[in-house]
């Protein structure tokens, strides 16, 4: 595949775009091209982003889409392709995870433990049959043609053939369900000998795929994959749409399995959502109950505080929450009268006892001229093909351990305020990384983060695991 070409140089939001030449009604003013030997795909996007091509040092541009956008474009068949066959155009969103871990037993190395998993959480495709269309003018020319010009009809039948496509970016059917953004995370962990003992790579990717298959079997299957980027808006807002006050704090108590003479809690910013480029500030506080000055001194000096950031990845083929979007207005009857080769829509659905009353619809128009492209437009949000096996992986990303509560709150003249103050507290923060995976809450796949906080004093242990959002 040749490097992608972009027809515009800047990266702007759709509202900033002016009318693009050749596309007067679309906000997608950037045209990105992908090519293979027999296929040429053009994708129209509201913006592009320069990224490093995997496995190379080349910098290429990629189409960028946001919430409520449509992935639109066109696939052009090379004139040398067979005259009849089928063209499959699909969009796919997938989560890929792989890890390699040293298998050490009594310091004797064994074969490393390799884990690979792939889950397509978004998948929709349409199959468009394409057949050679006879031009009446070509038939007349063949009757009155001169033997010196035998290639007239061949030139007409070998005209450029293209098909436009349009996929709507789906939205979650429940509160908090958001399609995950494009991201890649790579982790390397070294052992005491300086060699890496653990390697992990997790990636969320999107791509538009075109596959051409000749009906007579004279050609090999041709496949073209065009990667795209999805970057949803991450502005934090309350349920009523208003901005949340960033300086509000939430206190979560730490729990014990039996009654103990002190209480502990962790205090976090509210809402508990943090950017991957930021840190997680927190306070761990304690208070004796009943009030005991001797116990306060012992806890302040000897208690062990442990704070860990935990990540949990889960893919589950059961109980998907994807629902079809409301259907658009069907095409007028005069537009469908000329359908000679309707597309075969391929939907990857779960087996259910009841079938939907109204199946998803794709609109296909046969070109009236060789230069006019056919169109395939998605009308419903697709249901994905779910994996055959569940996958779950939990890992501690980082841990901080401290001894004692070094600080005590300042005394206040108000007796009521003094009564509510803790006996000691520890202030800390966990630094996140821009290269880590964002949190994902989408049917079939989830990436969750937790802040695990524990306080150990003597034989008593109190702890809490607090879910947090990472974007």
The pLDDT score that the predictor gives to residue 219 is: 72
Range of the domain at 431: 248-315+391-470
Residue 438 and residue 364 in one domain: no
What is the average pLDDT score of the chain?
Answer: 74
Cis peptide before 290 (omega within 30 of 0): yes
Residue 403 and residue 361 in one domain: no
**For the chain, the helix, strand and coil percentages under 3-state DSSP, each to the nearest 5:** 10, 50, 45
Q: How many distinct structural domains can be found in the chain?
A: 2
| 33-37, 265-269, 353-357: least confident range | 353-357
110 assigned to some structural domain:
no
28 assigned to some structural domain:
yes
403 neighbors 303 (Cβ within 8 angstroms): yes
Banded model confidence at residue 146, pLDDT cuts 50, 70, 90: very low
Residue 350 and residue 409 in one domain: no
370 assigned to some structural domain:
yes
209 assigned to some structural domain:
yes
Residue 343 and residue 423 in one domain: no
416 assigned to some structural domain:
yes
Question: pLDDT tens-digit profile of 106-143?
Answer: 555 567 788 889 999 898 888 898 886 544 444 434 33
Residue 355 and residue 426 in one domain: no
The pLDDT score that the predictor gives to residue 26 is: 55
339 assigned to some structural domain:
yes
75 assigned to some structural domain:
yes
Contacts 24+ apart (CB under 8 A), 248-257: 251/285, 252/464, 252/466, 253/464, 254/453, 254/454, 254/455, 254/462, 254/463, 254/464, 255/462, 255/463, 255/464, 256/460, 256/461, 256/462, 257/461
Question: pLDDT tens-digit profile of 387-438?
Answer: 457 889 999 999 999 999 988 876 655 555 556 789 999 999 999 998 899 9
How does DSSP assign 136-169, residue by residue? HHHHHHHHS--TT-TTHHHHHHT--EEEEEEEEP
For residue 402, what are its two tokens? 């401290």
Residue 133 and residue 38 in one domain: yes
Residue 311 and residue 321 in one domain: no
**Domain ends where: 378, 399, 430?**
378
| 462, pLDDT greater than 50 | yes
pTM: 0.71
CATH of the domain at 448: 2.60.40.640
Residue 323 and residue 372 in one domain: yes
Q: How many CB atoms lie within 10 A of CB 391?
A: 17
Residue 87 and residue 155 in one domain: yes
**Share of residues in the chain with pLDDT > 90 (%):** 41
CB-count exposure of residue 405 (10 Å: 0-12, 13-18, 19+): buried
In sequence order, the 6+-apart residues with CB closer than 8 A to the CB of 354 are none
Phi/psi zone of residue 68: left (φ > 0), alpha (ψ -120 to 50 degrees), beta?
Answer: left
d(Cα 162, Cα 372) in Å, to the nearest integer? 8
The pLDDT score that the predictor gives to residue 420 is: 72
Residue 353 and residue 416 in one domain: no
Question: pLDDT tens-digit profile of 268-300?
Answer: 998 899 999 999 999 999 999 899 999 999 999
Question: pLDDT tens-digit profile of 186-226?
Answer: 887 766 565 667 788 999 999 999 999 988 777 778 999 99
383 assigned to some structural domain:
no
Question: pLDDT tens-digit profile of 226-276?
Answer: 999 999 876 544 333 344 455 689 999 999 999 999 999 999 998 899 999
Residue 224 and residue 260 in one domain: no
Residue 322 and residue 310 in one domain: no
In sequence order, the 6+-apart residues with CB closer than 8 A to the CB of 195 are 102
Residue 295 carries which DSSP code?
H
| 66-80, 231-245, 320-334, 382-396: least confident range | 320-334
d(Cα 364, Cα 341) in Å, to the nearest integer? 8
């Amino acid at each position: 595949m040749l490097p992608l070409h972009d027809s515009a140089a800047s990266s702007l939001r759709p509202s900033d775009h002016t009318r693009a030449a050749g596309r007067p009604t679309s906000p997608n003013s950037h045209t990105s091209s992908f090519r293979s030997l027999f296929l040429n795909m053009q994708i129209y996007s509201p913006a592009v982003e320069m990224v490093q091509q995997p496995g190379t040092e080349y910098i290429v541009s990629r189409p960028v889409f946001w919430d409520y956008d449509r992935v639109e474009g066109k696939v052009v068949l090379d004139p040398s392709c067979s005259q009849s066959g089928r063209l499959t155009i699909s969009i796919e969103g997938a989560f890929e995870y792989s890890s390699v871990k040293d298998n050490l037993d009594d310091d004797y190395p064994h074969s490393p433990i390799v884990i690979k998993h792939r889950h397509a959480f978004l998948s929709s495709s349409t199959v468009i049959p394409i057949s050679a269309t006879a031009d009446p003018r070509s038939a007349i020319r063949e009757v009155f043609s001169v033997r010196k010009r035998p290639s007239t009809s061949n030139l007409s039948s070998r005209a450029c053939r293209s098909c436009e496509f349009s996929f709507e970016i789906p939205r979650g059917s429940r509160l908090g369900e958001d399609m995950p953004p494009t991201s890649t995370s790579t982790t390397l962990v070294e052992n005491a000998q300086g060699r890496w003992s653990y390697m992990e790579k997790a990636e969320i990717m999107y791509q538009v795929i075109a596959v051409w298959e000749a009906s007579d079997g004279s050609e090999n299957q041709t496949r073209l994959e065009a990667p795209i980027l999805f970057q949803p808006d991450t502005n934090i807002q309350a349920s009523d749409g208003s901005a949340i006050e960033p300086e509000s704090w939430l206190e979560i108590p730490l729990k014990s399995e039996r009654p103990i003479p002190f209480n502990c809690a962790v205090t976090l910013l509210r809402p508990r959502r943090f950017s991957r480029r930021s840190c997680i500030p927190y306070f761990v506080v304690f208070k004796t109950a009943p009030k005991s000055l001797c116990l306060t001194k012992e806890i302040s000096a000897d208690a062990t505080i442990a704070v860990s950031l935990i990540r949990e990845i889960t893919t589950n083929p059961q109980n998907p929450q994807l629902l079809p979007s409301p259907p658009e207005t069907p095409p007028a009857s005069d537009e469908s009268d000329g359908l000679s080769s309707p597309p075969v829509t391929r939907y990857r659905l779960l087996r259910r006892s009841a079938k939907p009353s109204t199946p998803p619809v794709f609109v296909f128009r046969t070109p009236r001229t060789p230069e006019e492209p056919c169109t395939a437009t998605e009308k419903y949000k697709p249901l994905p093909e779910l994996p055959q096996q569940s996958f779950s992986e939990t890992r501690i990303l980082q841990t901080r351990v401290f001894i004692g509560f070094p600080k005590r709150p300042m005394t206040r003249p108000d007796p009521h305020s003094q009564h509510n103050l803790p006996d000691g507290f520890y202030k800390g923060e966990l630094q996140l990384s821009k290269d880590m995976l964002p949190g994902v809450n989408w049917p079939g796949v989830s990436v969750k983060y937790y802040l695990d906080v524990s306080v150990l004093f003597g034989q008593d242990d109190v702890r809490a695991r607090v879910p947090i959002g990472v974007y």
